[in-house]
Amino acid sequence: MVHFQKKYHLLKKGEVAVVEDEESQSLGLVCGTFGYNKRTRPKLLSLLFLSLLSCSLILAPQLFDFPSNFSLLSSFGGEDDGVNAPLCSSISNGTICCDRGSIRSDICIMKGDVRTHSASSSIYLYSSKNTNGFIDSFSALAEDSKEEELQHEKIKPYTRKWETTVFFSTGGYTGNVYHEFNDGILPLYITSQHLNKKVVFVILEYHSWWITKYGNILSLLSDHPPIDFSGDKRTHCFPEAIVGLKIHDELTVDSSLMEGNKTIRDFRDLLDQAYWPRIRGLIQDEEHEVHLNLTDKLSLPPSSKNSIELKKPKLRKLDFKLKVLRPERTTELAKIYRVLNSSDVMIGVHGAAMTHFLFVKPGSVFIQVIPLGTEWAAETYYGEPAMKLGLRYIGYKILPRESSLYDDYDKNDPILRDLSSVAKKGWEYTKKIYLDHQNVKLNLGRFRKRLVRAYVYSFAKKNRHSHLQSL
């Protein structure tokens, strides 16, 4: 046990502690609200590394009298140094660089002797003078003296090291498939795919169900099991850390920002690799059941009533084979992927479940039914991304008579006739009216025109494919 005397300033919410001692120099990235009691450990912080919007980094080496050869922090806010290389694409050891150029997220990169300290929800970057294999971490703080005492204790570090670690959170809106992909899985792919699986994922707000649900994708991005940042109390050491995830746009990948010009189709190829082993297992199980005469038909993923009322006879005239799929939160993603990957056309009402267009093969058709008051969101979150994936997108904007709101309001009510005026009342009001209390009953005569377009397109595509195979 060793003791050091050092000034320590209690931090306000969102500040960063830069800590130095005589035996080991360190930079700490600490976010959240600090609160200390005499001779007690720091209160656990609720920290979301997925979005560092609530954090700020403070660079003040002159206040702490750091040695001149000790590199501190590089923080960029979007200035162009005259080169096209991404910010923080190349940093030296012993430094932290933060890229704040995106409106969606901040990304910080730490390079050197990076060590985790889960008790304080912190990551430290050390420039150590000793080589005894130990690290110093805070045990207690005295608050009575201006020259506050830092009590240190020796902790043997977790010795295994990997090339890089990525810190992110599975909190927030996880549980909603749109946010799970748009704010989680896709950004994780964007941030880590160039590391060729030589990366460790350290997860804040770790959820076992999330790991179970997306484990087959994680295994294609990393050779190592993920670490529960709060649950794993060991000190983990890394030569480099990426804190936060990069987000390009809604459910897409910007190839101009990716190494090797990767696109959203490359991400879909990853999904294909992730789900097909399980799908082959499902097919083998079904074939085995048929062989044993346990069932006279193949099993299909669970289906239930859909909010679109489509009658099979209408579709059979177009030679469509209709499968109704309503994914539940617990529905295995491989089963959903199997159905949609083998479909020529996907039809659905605007909502989070439309995220599954990512499971449809490029070149197929995606028809999105757009309820009243949801046009902008439907096109922005699903229509445009679907076209970037290579789907033939058809948006079907319903008429007031096709909405359940038609029976709830006067026919001249702004909710039915002047949707833009309703939108001006704010998101919560709009959401309550158009998303929470609206159902759709299609005019099949009107909707059939879109089905015909989808059928003609799909039929022509199959004929072209057959013709090419016959050559």
Tens-of-pLDDT digits for all 471 residues of the chain? Answer: 333 223 333 333 333 333 333 344 444 444 332 232 333 333 333 333 333 333 333 333 333 343 333 333 443 344 444 445 667 878 888 899 998 888 888 889 999 999 999 999 899 988 755 444 444 433 322 333 333 333 333 444 444 556 799 999 998 877 899 999 999 999 999 999 999 999 999 999 999 999 999 999 999 999 999 999 999 999 999 999 999 999 999 999 999 999 899 999 999 999 999 999 999 888 887 776 664 544 333 333 343 333 454 444 455 566 778 889 888 888 899 999 999 999 999 999 999 999 999 999 999 999 999 999 999 999 999 999 999 999 999 999 999 999 999 999 999 999 999 999 999 999 899 999 999 999 999 999 999 999 999 999 998 888 876 656 665
Tell me what pLDDT residue 329 has.
80
Contact indicator for 415, 280 with CB cutoff of 8 Å: no
Tell me what pLDDT residue 471 has.
55
Query: DSSP labels for 261-314?
Result: G--HHHHHHHHHHHHHHHHHHHHHHHHHHHHTTS-SS---------SS---HHH
β-strand pairing of 227-228 with 199-204: parallel
Measure the CA–CA gap between 80 and 86, rounded to whole angstroms.
Answer: 10
DSSP state of 180: H
Measure the CA–CA gap between 219 and 211, rounded to whole angstroms.
Answer: 10
Q: CA–CA distance from 100 to each of 14, 49, 85, 165, 404 (Å)?
A: 15, 14, 15, 20, 44
Tell me what pLDDT residue 227 has.
94
Entry pTM: 0.73
Contact indicator for 407, 379 with CB cutoff of 8 Å: no
Q: CA–CA distance from 112 to each of 27, 36, 91, 242 (Å)?
A: 11, 29, 10, 12
Q: CA–CA distance from 407 to each of 320, 370, 374, 375, 445 (Å)?
A: 32, 18, 19, 21, 20
3-state secondary structure of 398: coil
Hey, what are 253's tokens? Answer: 């990948």
Tell me what pLDDT residue 175 has.
80
* 449 phi, psi to nearest 5 deg: -60, -40
Contact indicator for 265, 390 with CB cutoff of 8 Å: yes
